Amino acid sequence: MPVPILCTPFVVLSEIICLLETEEIVAASFCSKKMKRFLKCYYQQRKPLEWNIYLKDYDSCGRVHIHKLDDEYHDAVLLAEHVSELDESEAKPIETNGYKRGFSSGLVSLYFEDRVMGTKMIVDYVTDLFNLDVYGLIIDTNGIWAIDWISRRQEKMLESFELVKNPKCNSSSDEALNYVLRDGDEWNGDYSIQRIDGVKAVIDLDIRHFVMTVLPPKEII
């Protein structure tokens, strides 16, 4: 007989949640509105400060990853893809709220007609569930939209940024870098950029790498 898990004592539920991987927690939140509400309440009370949320948007796929400070790897927890990527020959997806939901390789994948809108949705979903802001951004040239979008949606500045090469869109790489560095100043051979509230970052780049490091304002004059 199935056990009504939400009727389990809170202490026991807390122990169960601690044993779950991040992608399993996100998957569980899709089981029911009550489960999502319970998990959201749990993480409002116990904010996972040692977890960092990353948005990765490249190769025509949006992904939300969570990196635990004691772990070397980023765990993908939720994916957003265009509906054309859906293989309906496999298990029939669930259609709800304007998107289709599938489950494969232990991950929840959502399929949208508008993938950018879908990527925004999965970011909102995970950040709301865990009560955390986006910590880092990893994108190709098609994901430049995410820079301003994240800047508008949260007060906390991104701590990590990486621009990866998109072999299908080489022609726009210079324009993408110019956009990111549009208000930048050269500093010791690199660039510094500044947010409106005075928070600054140093950007180091070459042909293959683009790395942004956030520094306290006093570090850059």
Instruction: Report domain extents, the chain.
Output: 7-132, 136-221
Tokens at 180, concatenated? 């990111």
List Cβ neighbours of 208 (8 Å cut-off, separation of 6 or more).
Answer: 165
Quick: pLDDT tens for 12-22.
777 788 888 99
Alpha helices in 7-101, H assignment, sequence order: 10-19, 22-29, 33-45
One-letter amino acid identity for 30?
Answer: F
Q: How far apart are CA 18 and CA 78, in angstroms?
A: 19
Confidence band, pLDDT 50/70/90 cuts, at residue 3: very low
pLDDT band at 141 (very low <50, low <70, confident <90, very high): confident
Q: What is the mean pLDDT of the chain?
A: 77
Share of the chain above pLDDT 90, in %: 30
Please give the model's pTM, rounded to 2 decimal places.
0.74
